[in-house]
Each structure stands twice: as C-alpha cells, then as structure tokens.
Amino acid sequence: MTESQAAAGQPQHDGDASSAAAGAAPSRRAVLGWGGAGLALGAAAAGGAAAAFGGGTDMVSASAAGAAVPFHGEHQAGIASAVQDRLHFAAFDVKTKDRAELVALLKEWTAAARLMTAGLPVGDVYEGRPEAPPTDTGEALGLKPSRLTLTVGFGPGLFAKDRFGLEGRRPEALVDLELFPGDNLDPARSGGDLCVQACADDPQVAVHAIRQLARIGFGRVAVRWSQLGFGKTSSTTPDEQTPRNMMGFKDGTRNVSGTDQAALDRHVWVGAGDGSDWLTGGSYLVARRIRMNIETWDRTPLQEQEDIFGRDKGEGAPVGKSRERDEPFLKAMKPDSHVRLAHPDSNNGATILRRGYSFTDGTDGLGRLDAGLFFLAYQRDVRTGFVPIQRNLAKSDVLNEYIQHVGSAVFAVPPGVRDKDDWWGRALFA
C-alpha cells in the first residue's frame, strides 16, 4: 500500500458487514474512502444480482468483474454463479477432536467469508496494536470484491465413526470414489475433511481468502493440499464463448446454465426427498486434478486432435456442424471421442455442472509443463453424476492417452447461508 492510500482513511470493517453484503456491496476501494466509481459499480451489480435471485440464481453480468456476489441465499454462491476468472481451492484436515471447536471454526469461517465476499478485510489491517500482527493479512486491501465467492464442502472423513458424532448423517450419495482405470492418485493431493473453493476475478483476492481462512483455522484445521487455477475452462453463462482448455479446445459447451432453474433442480441441487435433510439445497462436489501430457499433445496432428475431442479447433463446432452451439450429432463422431462419451446421451442422461479451471504449477523435474485441468463438478448425486460419466470415459476415451487423473476428492456441499445468524453447516450440526 502506498502512503497516500494509507492516509486516505480507515477501513470501516467493524460495522455490520451483513448489511453491506445484502445491499449495496462496497468495493474495498470504496471502503477505503476513495468513494465514487467503485461504490456505484458495486451497487448496480448488487441490484442486478438481487433481481436475478428471485429467479433462483445469483448471476451477475460477467462484465461487472469488480462487483460483489451476494453471500446469503438458498444455495451457496460459487456453484451456479457466473464463473469467475481465477480459483484458489484448498482441502483441509480437521485436527481438533472437539465437535464444539469444529462448530466454532465454521462460525468464524462464515463470518470471515461474509466480510471478504463483500470486499471487506477480516479485522484490522494496520490500525491495530503495534505489538500484534494485523488480523487481516492485507494483500486484498484496495482491491474490489472481484466477484469473490467462497463455497465450503464436507468430506467423507468428517462423518467417520467416533469422531464428531456425525456417522449417522453421512449422505448415501457421498460415496468414496472407486479407483477408475488409469488413475494415478497422489494421496498428498487427494481427500480432505473440509474444502473451500474460492473463485474471483482477481487472483490476489482468491488467494487472500484462502490464506485468511487457513490462518483462522490453524490448530483446528491444517491445509492438506491446495490448487491455484486460472482461465476458467467451462462457463455457466451460455451467452458467452466457452473458454478453451490447455489443449486449446472448447470443452463443456453443453454445461448446465446458471440460469436454467429446471436443470439446476434436476441435476445440481439436492432435493427435499433425496435422503439427507440437512443437505437440501446443497450439492455434491467432485474435484479431480487432471494432468495433461502437454508436450505429446502439442505434437499431435490437427486432425487427430479434432477427432479426439469430436469438435473442430477453430470454432468448436461438433463434427459435421458449423457453429459451436449447434446440436451435436453424436453418431458422426468417432465412438471413442471425448465429447461423444461425455455427453448425457451416452450416459443415460447423467449431467453435471462443471466449473473447472486450467492450472500450471511450473514444470516437473523432467522439464515438462506441470499443467492440466483442475476439474470441479457439482451434481445432485455423485452416483448418478460423475461416477457413470467417468466410468465411461476411463474405459474408452481416446483422450486418456494425453491425460492422467492425479488427485481426487469428493465433498457434500451444504446449502447456502440464509442470513447473518446462519453459518456453514448449521443444519448438519443441529
């Protein structure tokens, strides 16, 4: 922070942030007293979001990249919300054995998430006691809310016997994933008792959010693994172009739209009669770290690349069609092509909502780009969502020659935080 910024004013972090989150969400900039543009943008976007919420989503115009996404709602933000540009995903091990401590942590996390998604720091940044480290680490100060969403999930370990008394509350649909053919899973990049998905248009905002939650959690939880992502590889807003993955292809054109309430209810949100009442309005998340063999892919002839996907590289049109969104004719594609095998029609209608991101973690020890797709899929039931699709792909997908699944985790994602008195997981621990 520059001196002029420091002199501009004190952050008003100690007020009731929930009112800020629910109404005209100020940008961090506005909060700092820079006034004007940031605040107006936040207000306009929040108004649009509020209107859209009546339709059951918290969609905001993707162009309002600095705006705040409402934190409170029937469903957690970060699932059907318009996909942001950046990701910081973290899985945590719960270290405490005390149920009350775990509950306290979830309440503190919720309060912190409420502030951060509104673009506010969590506690003091530079106006606290000089002897104490600042409560908020400060790297997001002066940045806009950047459509930050924080989405929490509960892993199977949380429901283990003799742990937190939750063994009877594990949903049947939260299955331990089978080992699929070709999987080469690293335990150090898999699993976790809790997860937090932070999505934002500014990577610094997403990184700050996870860092802050990890810090609040030290002693009660420990980060097990985390993943940074960039360049969303799927879109929940069909009016936009489908972004490209690291192989240069558009994939996931037929993703569930964040505004298609009927499709969301059918395929993404857990319904009232689905089994676990505490999860009604929630979802299930499957996270997979999929490494791509970038160098060999880049040596593959164009025709073969297009055959593998079943779409052309330029427009992304399905085989035999001219536009990306033309209805694919599956039988025109090779039987082992990726799009054909992943399509609901090849999987008895199985449909998932994808929110994947590209990742690049530098290079591996062999000089190869350590890159690929961090696949995030939300669904109403893992057994009828990800599992049949992945079985089909693992068995036959010709793309398998160029990819390998190296990390895996599954989580039950509770419903949204309703209001300022609510917290992540309240129904589970009730």
Note the residues at the interface with another protein (CB under 8 A). Answer: 3, 6-7, 93, 95, 126-133, 188, 215, 218-220, 222
DSSP letter for each residue of 81-94: SPP-SEEEEEEEEE
Angle between helices 203-217 and 99-117 (to 10 degrees): 160
**Rounded distance, CA 375 to CA 357, Å?**
7
- For another protein, give the closer residue by CB, 82 or 125: 125
- For another protein, give the closer residue by CB, 123 or 231: 123
| Shortest Å, Cβ 145 to another protein | 25
- For another protein, give the closer residue by CB, 131 or 162: 131
Q: Cβ–Cβ contacts within 10 Å for residue 241, how many?
A: 12
- For another protein, give the closer residue by CB, 10 or 396: 10
- For another protein, give the closer residue by CB, 222 or 302: 222
Q: Cβ–Cβ contacts within 10 Å for residue 299, how many?
A: 7
Nearest Cα residue to 284 out of 385, 185, 207, 366: 385
- For another protein, give the closer residue by CB, 62 or 223: 223
| Shortest Å, Cβ 138 to another protein | 12
* H-assigned helices in 77-170: 99-117
| Shortest Å, Cβ 192 to another protein | 13
**Residues 6 or more apart whose Cβ sits within 8 Å of residue 206:** 84, 86, 87, 88, 146, 148, 198, 199, 200
**Rounded distance, CA 390 to CA 174, Å?**
16
Q: How many alpha carbons fall within 13 Å on the CB side of residue 144?
A: 21
**Residues 6 or more apart whose Cβ sits within 8 Å of residue 97:** 163
- For another protein, give the closer residue by CB, 128 or 349: 128
| Shortest Å, Cβ 216 to another protein | 9
Q: Which two three-digit tokens encode residue 343? A: 């399509």
The answer to whether 226 and 361 are in contact (CB under 8 A) is no
- For another protein, give the closer residue by CB, 103 or 175: 103
- For another protein, give the closer residue by CB, 48 or 157: 157
The answer to whether 51 and 165 are in contact (CB under 8 A) is no
**Rounded distance, CA 291 to CA 185, Å?**
11
Give burial (CB, 10 Å; 0-12/13-18/19+) of 314.
Answer: exposed
| Shortest Å, Cβ 8 to another protein | 11
| Shortest Å, Cβ 425 to another protein | 22
DSSP letter for each residue of 288-336: EEEEE-HHHHHTS-HHHHHHHHTB-TTT-PBTT-SSTTSPP-GGGS-TT
- For another protein, give the closer residue by CB, 218 or 329: 218
Strands (E), 30-75: none
Which 3 state secondary structure label does DSSP give 151? strand
| Shortest Å, Cβ 219 to another protein | 3
- For another protein, give the closer residue by CB, 295 or 361: 361
Q: Cβ–Cβ contacts within 10 Å for residue 75, how many?
A: 24
| Shortest Å, Cβ 46 to another protein | 31
| Shortest Å, Cβ 224 to another protein | 9
| Shortest Å, Cβ 214 to another protein | 9
| Shortest Å, Cβ 364 to another protein | 17
